[in-house]
Amino acid sequence: MIILETPRLRLRTFNTDDAAFFMALVNDPAWERFIGKRNLTNLDDSRTAILNGPMAMYARYGFCLYVAELKSDDTAVGICGLIKREQLIDVDLGFAFLERYRGHGYAREAASATTEYAEKTQGLKRIVAITSLDNESSISLLEKVGFKFEKLMSFNAEAPEIIDTKLFSCEFEEGIK
Ligand SMILES: CC(C)(COP(=O)(O)OP(=O)(O)OC[C@H]1O[C@@H](n2cnc3c(N)ncnc32)[C@H](O)[C@@H]1OP(=O)(O)O)[C@@H](O)C(=O)NCCC(=O)NCCS
């Protein structure tokens, strides 16, 4: 299902045929460094991760991480969308692009359209985004699409004293944005 279109991209829901793309994305060194190791080493596990991850989230909340594909030739180049996590009160924006599709402004195009979709289509008053402390590409992108740094926090339930995460937010209520 197509959710959003931008000048160069289409954002659509995941399906299990995206297993090879998803496995490539999560095994990218930048994903491992800034998001975490997923240990997805075969297509069956990748299909299960898609079913239990974005597809389950879409069924439960009506939003999830979407596949961003080039309108020109349908190549899947990254993911961008909304996530509801137990650890956060607010819905958060997430994104990741395959290395060869970074530095083209695709992530910014997708993040900007998804932020507008969060307000206009999902009716949210505010969304947040989390990054690791040194994820400069992600921080720069968030600032470009209108997020403001809010606070440092711990995302480690077992070691809450370890500050490992920056929280950004984007408010939609009139007069604040
Ligand atoms: C975070 C991430 C998605 C950012 O991707 P990106 O491609 O660098 O981000 P953008 O879309 O903003 O593109 C940035 C560059 O493209 C350039 N660019 C080239 N063509 C462009 C165009 N047509 N329009 C806009 N920008 C363009 C910009 O100048 C910009 O360079 P700058 O930052 O030096 O100014 C990417 O680094 C990534 O996937 N990282 C791994 C996963 C990750 O960390 N995810 C976030 C977890 S919090």
CB count within 10 Å of CB 27 equals 15
According to DSSP H, which parts of 19-149 are helical? 19-26, 29-34, 43-50, 56-61, 106-120, 136-144
Tally of domains in the chain? 1
Binned at pLDDT 50, 70 and 90, residue 174 comes out as low
Q: Is residue 150, in this structure, part of any structural domain at all?
A: yes
- Top mutation candidate among 97, 112, 127, 149 for ligand 1, by most atoms within 8 Å of CB: 97
Domain containing 24 — which CATH number?
A: 3.40.630.30
Mean pLDDT (the chain, rounded): 96
Domain containing residue 37: 2-171
Position 154 pLDDT exceeds 80: yes
Q: Is-contact 110 95, C-beta < 8 A?
A: yes
What percentage of the chain carries pLDDT values higher than 90?
95
Q: Is residue 117, in this structure, part of any structural domain at all?
A: yes
- Please compute the mean of the pLDDT values over residues 45-58 and round it to a whole number: 98
Q: Is residue 91, in this structure, part of any structural domain at all?
A: yes
Cβ of residue 138 lying under 6 Å from some atom of ligand 1:
yes
Whole-number Å distance between alpha carbons of 95 and 139: 12
Q: Is residue 176, in this structure, part of any structural domain at all?
A: no
Atom of ligand 1 at shortest range from CA of 111: 11
Q: Is residue 83, in this structure, part of any structural domain at all?
A: yes
Nearest CA to ligand 1 atom 9: 107
Q: Is residue 61, in this structure, part of any structural domain at all?
A: yes
